[in-house]
Amino acid sequence: MIPQHPITSDQSINIGENACDKPEEACGVFGIYAPEQDVAKMTYFGLYALQHRGQESAGIAVFEGTHVHQHKDMGLVSQVFSEAILEELPGNLAVGHTRYSTTGSSRKVNAQPAVVESRLGNLALSHNGNLVNTIQLGEQLVKSNFNLVTTTDSEMIAYAIAQEINSGADWLTGAMNAFKRCQGAFSLVIGTPDGIMGTRDPNGIRPLVIGTLDSNPVRYVLASETCGLDIIGAEYLRDVQPGELVWITETGLESFQWHEKSERKLCIFEMIYFARPDSLMHNETLYSYRIRLGQRLAKESPIEADIVFGVPDSGIPAAIGFSQKSGIAYGEGLIKNRYVGRTFIQPTQSMRETGIKMKLNPLKDVLFGKRVVIIDDSIVRGTTSRKLVKALRDAGAIEVHMRISSPPVTHPCFYGIDTDTQDQLIAATKSVAEIAKQLEVDTLAYLTWEGMLETTREDTNSFCSACFTGNYPVAIPERVKRSKLILEKATI
C-alpha cells in the first residue's frame, strides 16, 4: 500500500486567457540519493529552481526502504508543499516532478511522479519529454491486463518497466528492455527501493544532468538543468548521455549504455528559451549563448533606432547582445508582472481587450518619441506580439521594429513541447512580410537557421530543430503526425 497524502483540489488549471504566446515546456525532473540528508526538502528546492519548466502540478515520492511516501497536487511547487507535508516524507532517496501537460490533460490524476508496483517493489517515475508511440505501447499494456489510471505516456513507461520486471528481469535489465520499447523524447528519473536511475532517449532530445554533493561518501543528484543543482549546493558533474542509464546506489554511480546507435539531437529551443539562462550547457551559461544570438541578429538584420530592449524575461539577453553589436542604446521598455498568471480569477472583458498590460506594462517616458527595437525569442501564434506592438505605439513609440532571435516556427513539436497544430503557427501560413503587416510593425526580421546553429559553437548536426525545418529526428507515426501536421507533411 502506497501512502498518499490527500490532494487538496480537484480543479484543473485554466490557462486559456493567460496562456503565453510561446511554446510551453513539458516538465522538470529531479532525483537525489543521500541517506544522510533531508531528501524531501532538497527535492522541494530542486523543483523550485525548475519551476519555469512547468507550473501546473508538482510531486515528490520518497523511498524509506521499501515504503514510498508521496505527495502531489495541482499548482506551483510552493503551493503544493509545506514544511508539515515535507516532514511527512522521510527516506533516503527521492524523485520529484514539476509539470506542464503535453500527453495527458492538466488534471490531478496526471500529476507525477507516477508510482506503480512491480515484483521487486514500487517504482516512482518522473518524465520530461513525449513518446510518439503511445498508442502502440498502451495497446500492449492493456493486452497484458495493466489498468492505466492516467492519460500520460509517463505512466505507460512505468508500467512497461514493471512488466519487464514481473517477467523476471532485475531493475536494470527491466528498465533497459522497457526503454527500447519507447520511441520519442524521454529524460527519466526513476526511484526504486534499491536506488535511483536516470536515462535519456537515444537522441538526448531533453536534457538531464548529474551533480555531486560534498559528502563522504559522495552522493549524487539528477536534474533537468544545472540550476536545480546550484540551489542545493550540488556541483555539476556531467550530462547523462543519449542512450545512457546511470544507476545510483549506496555504492556510488554506475553507467550503462543501453542503445548502441545513439546520436545527440538536443532540442535547440532548450538553449534559446526553455532552460534558465544561468543553467550550463556546453560548459557555459545559456545567458552567454543568448547574448551571441542577439549579436548575430544585429549583424544579419541591422536597423537604425534609438533604443533596443527585450521582451521580459527571455528576450533580454538577446537584446543586450543586439545592443552590443549594433551600438543602439539598451534600455528597459517593458516591466513584467510576474504574478498575474498565477490567479484563477478571470479578468473583466475590458481587461481582456487590453490583456497584454496585465503581464507587460510599457514605460511611457522611455518610449515616447523613440524609434524602438524590440527583441523576442520566438513568435508562435502572433496574438501576444500584436497586442505588445499596439501597447508600444500607445505609449508613444514612433517606430516599432521587431527582431526575433530564432527562425520562424513552421512545424509543431512531437517531443514534449506543447505547440499548436500547424495551421495555428503564424509562420506556417504567412510570409515574414505578411506577419509584419499583421503585427503592425515597421520592420520584422528573424534570425537565420544557420545563424542560430552556428552560434552554439557546437556540431550543428547535434541539435533537433524540427520546429523550424520539419526534419524530425525520430520518425512520427502517420496517425500521430496527422493530429498536428495540417498543412504539409514533414520531411522525416
Domain-wise residue ranges, the chain: 28-264, 285-338+350-485
Q: Is residue 314 a known part of a binding site?
A: yes
Q: Is residue 255 a known part of a binding site?
A: no
Q: Is residue 20 a known part of a binding site?
A: no
With 80 as the cut, is the pLDDT of residue 5 above it? no
Tell how far CA 232 is from the center of its chain: 20
> How many CB atoms sit inside 10 A of residue 434's CB?
13
**d(C-alpha 307, C-alpha 189), whole Å:** 45
Q: Is residue 10 a known part of a binding site?
A: no
The reply to whether domains 28-264 and 285-338+350-485 share a CATH topology is no
pLDDT in tens, 396-421: 999 999 999 999 999 999 998 877 68
Q: Interior CA angle at 214 toward 213 and 215, to 5°?
A: 95
Unique residue bearing C-alpha cell 527516506: 91
Q: Is residue 182 a known part of a binding site?
A: no
pLDDT, averaged across the chain: 89
Q: Compute CA distances 460 → 43, 197, 394, whole Å.
A: 34, 30, 42
Question: What is the DSSP track for 389-412?
Answer: HHHHHHTT-SEEEEEESS----S-
Residues 6+ away with beta carbon under 8 Å from 418: 23, 24, 26, 100, 101, 102
Residues 6+ away with beta carbon under 8 Å from 28: 47, 50, 51, 52, 53, 54, 97, 98, 128, 223, 224, 225, 228
**d(C-alpha 267, C-alpha 37), whole Å:** 34
pLDDT in tens, 67-105: 999 999 999 999 999 999 999 999 999 999 998 755 445
pLDDT in tens, 441-465: 999 999 999 999 999 999 999 999 9
Domain at 28-264: CATH code: 3.60.20.10
- Res 99: pLDDT: 85
Q: Is 217 helix (H, G, I), strand (E, B) or coil?
A: coil
Residue 407 identity: P
Q: How do strand 399-404 and strand 443-446 relate by DSSP bridges?
A: parallel
**Local structure of residue 188 (DSSP, 8 states):** E
Q: Is 298 helix (H, G, I), strand (E, B) or coil?
A: helix
- Res 355: pLDDT: 57
- Res 152: pLDDT: 80
Residues annotated as catalytic are: 27
Find, among 307, 322, 320, the residue nearest to 366 by Cα. Answer: 307
pLDDT in tens, 208-258: 999 999 999 999 999 999 999 999 999 999 999 999 999 999 999 999 999
Unique residue bearing C-alpha cell 514493471: 162
Q: Compute CA distances 195 → 163, 190, 289, 458, whole Å.
A: 19, 9, 35, 34
With 60 as the cut, is the pLDDT of residue 341 above it? no
Mean pLDDT, residues 115-122: 96
**d(C-alpha 3, C-alpha 60), whole Å:** 12
Axis-axis angle for helices 316-326, 286-300 (nearest 10): 50
**d(C-alpha 268, C-alpha 274), whole Å:** 9
Domain at 285-338+350-485: CATH code: 3.40.50.2020
Mean pLDDT, residues 7-32: 54
**d(C-alpha 271, C-alpha 456), whole Å:** 9
